[in-house]
Amino acid sequence: MIEHFMEPLLLICSILAIIGTLNNKKSGNKPGFVIGGILTLGLIGITGLALYDLIIGLQ
């Protein structure tokens, strides 16, 4: 069975969040860009922590 399924899903979600944030910036949707940017930064932080735990470990 698949042992690590969270990390690829987080990577896909992070990429989609970045694309959405850049789309909001390009279309001139400032509130969407600000709110989406804050949530995207949080998601990137969580993804980075998960990848760090996968590669190096937190122990």
41 in a structural domain: yes
Q: Which residues constitute the domain of residue 14?
A: 6-55
47 in a structural domain: yes
Return per-residue pLDDT of the chain as tens, 59 residues. Answer: 567 788 999 999 999 999 999 999 999 999 999 999 999 999 999 999 999 998 998 77
Number of domains in the chain: 1
Length of the chain, in residues:
59
pTM across the whole model: 0.85
Residue type, 19: I
pLDDT of residue 59: 73
pLDDT of residue 2: 67
